[in-house]
Amino acid sequence: MEINVIEETKNRIVVEVKDEDATLCNIIRKELWNDEAVKAAAYTVKHPSIKAPHLIVETAGKSAREALLDSMKRIKKDLSAFEKAVAKEF
């Protein structure tokens, strides 16, 4: 996976996520909406056969980069808890 910043200002960031599809971007988008500072969270896919969606984040009161990094931390925490629950069951 490769991440390229396409556009960045204090309150907006657009990143290209190479070699991924909409699945990962959808998880990130949904988690971004849990942050009160996030005013817009979306992704675009130019074409289904091109695996390089663009993730778009707009914020107020917090940098877009910080909001994106914070969402990654929360996703990682959730996945860790899920992994422990699955391991306990099996």
pTM metric for this prediction:
0.89
Could you read off the pLDDT of 11-69 as tens digits, one per residue?
A: 999 999 999 988 999 999 999 999 999 999 999 998 888 889 999 999 999 999 999 99
> Per CATH, is 2-89 categorized as 2.40.160.40?
no
pLDDT at 61: 93
Domain layout of the chain by residue ranges:
2-89
The 10 Å CB-count burial string (b at 16+, else e) for 20-57 is beeeebeebbebbeebebbeebebeeeeeeeeebbbbb
